[in-house]
Amino acid sequence: MKKDIHPDYHMITVAMTNGTTFQTRSTYGKEGDTLTLDIDPNTHPAWTGGGQQLVDRAGRVSRFKQKFGNLGVKA
C-alpha cells in the first residue's frame, strides 16, 4: 500500500435513536468520537415496513386513473 494516502481508521461510538450505542471502526471524526444517528434501522420505514402509502400530488394519480382506467385489468 502507498503511504500517507489512506484515511485514519479508528474506533468510534455510534448512538442509535433509541439510546443504544455500539463501538465500531470508522474513518468518521477522531478516535473516541460519537456518531449520533437521526435515522437508523429501528425507525426508518425502509427497514420497519411502515410508510407504504401512495401520495396523490395535485390529483395526478386520479387524473391517470380517469385517463387510463385500470388498463383492462380485472381486479
Kindly indicate the confidence band of residue 17, based on its pLDDT and cuts at 50, 70 and 90: confident
Q: Which residues, 6+ apart, have CB-to-CB distance to 24 below 8 Å?
A: 11, 12, 14
> What average pLDDT does the chain have?
82
The per-residue pLDDT for 2 is 84
For residue 23, give the C-alpha cell: 463501538
> Using CA atoms, how far apart are residues 51 and 53, in angstroms rounded to an integer?
6
The full set of domain ranges for the chain reads: 1-48
pTM to 2 decimal places: 0.56
Report the distance separating Cα 75 and Cα 73, nearest Å: 6
pLDDT of residue 64: 79
Average pLDDT, integer, range 3-23: 92
Instruction: Give the pLDDT of residue 34.
Output: 96
